[in-house]
Amino acid sequence: MKRVGKILLGLVAALALVGAGLFTWMVLKPHPPAEVVDAGPTGRRVQQGDLFGNYFPASGKGRRPAVLLLGGSEGGLFHDVKRLALVLQAAGFNVLQIGYFNVPGKPSKLEWVPLEQFYHGLDWLKAQPEVDAGALAVIGGSKGAEAALLVATRRPDVKAVVAGMPSSVAWDGLSARSYLFGGVSSWSEGGKGLASLAYGKAGKDPKDLMPRFQNALATLPQHQAAAIPVERAGGPVLLICGEKDTLWPSCPMARAVLARAQKAGRPQVQLLAYPEAGHGVLGAPLAADSIDMKTWSRLGGSPAANAAARADAWPRMLAFLHRALGS
């Protein structure tokens, strides 16, 4: 009997080790490679130092305003973000679309992403002969909007920010490790993680992230260091969101950004909130029956509502940029 007990104990220990190894692998395994689109005939690939992206210079003579363009949690260089870059380029802006994770030479997970690479992107733009170094904007969607707002609070040379589907706080990273243990920021600066808000308790469906964001935001009074200090931004901010966003509460967070700015008396913040749209409101105008609009509707709102929101927001975004950048 003692021998049987020892065998059973050994089996249990072996299973525990296998389980621990599997759990560790699930937490630490890299994400699948993200989409990395080519720059195409009007752009060129930039791969210099910690920069990886596509650059789309404006045509014509003279110096033009420039935009640092950031995608979201899809990582890589996403085709829908490139589409926005192209219409901005056609409107007279020099655009640098960068991949800040899950691209060649960078980690696959959105954890401890150095803000310095965004600063280097701005510096790279300023060094281009066709760029007006005094007219820089940052545009970002979703996690890219979170980064855009954080950058704007640290770089006074950013004269305008467009944040689509934005966050009002810096969140923990997007990884199993962050979801399970917390304390791993999405962003870092100077080699240290930024203060970040840990995800809250899950809802009935563990695949539904919305309750985790909502429950976390309810604890924000105890974690104020994670709030983005929008009052430090050096230029105006345009926020764009859809009230039916099912990925995260972008409109409530956008209103929190607006309220904080109003309380501080700066900066000027404009909010475009679309009642029937979801998480696909930032981007180049597209037909409602396009594949991308149908895909975005999986994150809230109908294809028609998301397409209508883009069609309305696009000229407003252009007017905002022209006013803010003096172009």
pLDDT in tens, 2-25: 554 444 444 444 333 333 343 333
Whether residue 1 is contained in a domain is answered as: no
Number of H helices, E strands in the chain: 9, 11
Q: Kindly state the tokens that stand for 166.
A: 């934005």
pLDDT, residue 30, reads 61
Residues of the chain with pLDDT under 50: 1, 4-28
Whether residue 3 is contained in a domain is answered as: no
pLDDT, residue 175, reads 82
Whether residue 163 is contained in a domain is answered as: yes
pLDDT, residue 29, reads 53
Number of folded domains that form the chain: 1
Q: Name the helix (H) or strand (E) containing 141.
A: strand 131-141
**What's the domain range around 76?**
40-325
Beta bridge partners of 187: 113
Q: 255 CB contacts (<8 Å, ≥6 apart)?
A: 271, 273
Reference 100, options 51, 43, 169, 152; nearest CA is: 51
Tally the C-alpha atoms within 13 A of residue 147's C-alpha that lie toward its C-beta: 35
For residue range 256-282, list pLDDT tens digits in order: 999 999 999 999 999 999 999 999 999
Whether residue 17 is contained in a domain is answered as: no
Whether residue 168 is contained in a domain is answered as: yes
d(CA 206, CA 42): 43
Rounded to the nearest angstrom, the gap between the alpha carbon of residue 134 and the centroid of all alpha carbons in its chain is 24
Whether residue 4 is contained in a domain is answered as: no
